Amino acid sequence: MNQQEYLSKNQERFLNELLDWLRIPSISADSKFASDVHKAAEFVADKLRLAGADNVAVEQTEGYPIVYGEKMVDPNKPTVLVYGHYDVQPSVPDELWETPAFEPTIRDGNIYARGACDDKGQAYMHVKAFEMMMATDTLACNVKFMIEGEEEVGSTHLGYYVKENKDKLAADVVLISDTGMIANDIPSIDTGLRGLSYVEVEVTGPNIDLHSGTYGGAVANPINVLCDMISSLHDENRHITIPGFYDQVEIVSDEDRAEMAKTPFDLEEYKKGLEVNDVMGEAGYSTIERTGIRPTLDVNGIWGGYIGEGAKTVLPSKAYAKISMRLVPNQKSADISDLFQRHFESIAPKAVKVKVTLHHGGEAAVTPTNSKAYRAASKAMEATFGKKPIPTRGGGSIPIVALFEEVLGLKTVLMGFGLDSDAIHSPNEKYGIFNFYKGIETIPYFFKYFGEEE
Ligand code: BES
Ligand code: MN
Ligand code: MN
């Protein structure tokens, strides 16, 4: 049986297995779901074993386990380290889901579920492509799987694991499907990920919530102050005002910017899809540049005061915000968090106290387009899409990618099959069944081309 026949014979089962995996609410951010996160690890370990992987292990860490498995076919063949994650983002706000986040439902050719695209759907393509290559005796490279359960919370323990298992993880390239492409008829490969600094701020005014009539106007309202402080972090050109913030930013050449400008992108469609009348961002840069090569600062959440039903006249004691900064090559996450902290403390009026807490961060990464691995991915997508993929710079972050390079000396190929419209991290996350099967079909071509002499 060849791969094509194997796929058509088994595609329904592949999909059903993915749906079973998606039913496990493996939310790494919320400890209520800890046992489900472990279950999701066991699930994929079993599937790797059944597919024929050797030395499959659910490796315990101080946090969630790392699922490892390998198949070494020939020491003279290159080795591909496949990375993915089985943890997912929280599903809240649940009331905005048309069907429950952990009851995967198929509508209009899409699988709706938390994790459908990010990253269970995409990681599972690798497990099934592996099964298919094993069953048809066509595995053209050695392969090692490393599927973790803490990507959505900063990959803390994976960092240690990688450092302690350098020999075990030795490979020639890392292959990841955890990003997107432009459209189903415009394949693309991400060649960059942004870094991240994530902070939380607390602004304290009076020692207790006060009557807003008795005290309002005379005592600092921490919510008002927090809003002032946050709005001062951008100027009228939407540049970030933190001193030193841009000092290390990699300047992209005019030539590369001209190349980026050729990326197919329809601003009108983009706006229509999001139901916004206009886009907004840093002056002097296109939308693609704003998400691809420029750093940003966004408030992810802000709270304080009275948010219950009706009106309560109160001058709150405290206000909070969670703020993330997306970083580009050469900016160091720790340095930027530091700059933020110092600046934020320095702009606080005397009438309030501020506390800045640093959360996880990660470095940006760029992946080469002139490597054998990139060419293998490009040819693989060309084989199944009938079109050569376009290199693009993605806006998201997978902090562990920079570490793979630093610790293992490995470059990564980001062969992702998601779409921006898949609503990852949002209500009604989905993944196209087309994309799921297309990935399973494409991955073996990557192995084939990467295994060939050049
Ligand atoms: N798969 C995403 C990253 C991604 C999404 C890259 C789309 C490119 C395009 C990943 O699971 C993710 O969400 N990463 C987090 C960072 C992490 C430290 C929480 C992110 O980008 O917010
Ligand atoms: Mn992901
Ligand atoms: Mn994610």
Residue pair 356/341 in contact (Cβ under 8 Å)? The answer is yes
Residue 154 Cα to ligand 1 midpoint, Å, equals 10
CB distance 118 to ligand 1 below 6 Å: yes
What CATH number has the domain bearing residue 39?
3.40.630.10
Q: Is residue 279 part of a domain?
A: no
Q: Where are the alpha helices (DSSP H) in 192-308?
A: 222-231, 254-261, 267-274, 287-292
Q: Report the distance separating Cα 212 and Cα 218, nearest Å.
A: 10
Q: How confident is the model at residue 288 (pLDDT cuts 50, 70, 90)?
A: very high
pLDDT, tens only, 73-129: 999 999 999 999 999 999 999 999 999 999 999 999 999 999 999 999 999 999 999
Both 340 and 328 in one domain: the answer is: yes
Q: How confident is the model at residue 416 (pLDDT cuts 50, 70, 90)?
A: very high
Among the ranges given (42-46, 156-160, 343-347), the one the predictor scored with the smallest mean pLDDT: 156-160
For the segment 345-374, the average pLDDT, to the nearest whole number, is 96
Both 147 and 63 in one domain: the answer is: yes
CB distance 429 to ligand 1 below 6 Å: no
What CATH number has the domain bearing residue 215?
3.30.70.360
Q: How confident is the model at residue 392 (pLDDT cuts 50, 70, 90)?
A: very high
pLDDT, tens only, 29-48: 999 999 999 999 999 999 99
Q: Report the distance separating Cα 132 and Cα 47, nearest Å.
A: 12
Residue where one domain finishes, among candidates 362, 391, 413: 362
For residue 263, pLDDT beyond 90? yes
State which residues have CB under 5 angstroms from ligand 3, the bound ion: 118
Is residue 73 helix, strand or coil? coil
CB distance 178 to ligand 1 below 6 Å: yes
Q: Is residue 169 part of a domain?
A: yes
Q: What is the pLDDT of residue 390?
A: 96
For the segment 315-336, the average pLDDT, to the nearest whole number, is 97
Atom of ligand 1 nearest to the CA of 399: 18
> Ligand nearest 193 Cα, by number?
1
Residue 428 Cα to ligand 3 midpoint, Å, equals 14
Q: Report the distance separating Cα 182 and Cα 389, nearest Å.
A: 9
Q: Is residue 157 part of a domain?
A: yes
Q: How confident is the model at residue 301 (pLDDT cuts 50, 70, 90)?
A: very high
Q: How confident is the model at residue 360 (pLDDT cuts 50, 70, 90)?
A: confident
CB distance 84 to ligand 1 below 6 Å: no
CB distance 389 to ligand 1 below 6 Å: no
Q: How confident is the model at residue 65 (pLDDT cuts 50, 70, 90)?
A: very high
CB distance 179 to ligand 1 below 6 Å: yes
Residue 193 Cα to ligand 2 midpoint, Å, equals 12
Q: What is the pLDDT of residue 135?
A: 98
Tokens of 87: 């943890």
Both 337 and 404 in one domain: the answer is: no
CB distance 364 to ligand 1 below 6 Å: no
The secondary structure of 270-300 as a DSSP string is HHHHHT-S-----TT--HHHHHHTS-EEEEE
Residue 283 Cα to ligand 3 midpoint, Å, equals 28
Query: What is the domain extent for residue 225?
Result: 195-249+295-362
How many domains is the chain partitioned into structurally? 2
Q: Report the distance separating Cα 165 and Cα 147, nearest Å.
A: 14
Residue 272 Cα to ligand 1 midpoint, Å, equals 24
Residue among 188, 204, 176, 319 at smallest CA distance from 264: 188
Please indicate, yes or no, whether the overall pTM of this predicted structure exceeds 0.75: yes
Residue 153 Cα to ligand 1 midpoint, Å, equals 10
> In this structure, which residue's CA is closest to atom 17 in ligand 1?
152
Both 342 and 392 in one domain: the answer is: no
Q: What is the pLDDT of residue 92?
A: 96
Residue where one domain finishes, among candidates 362, 395, 417: 362
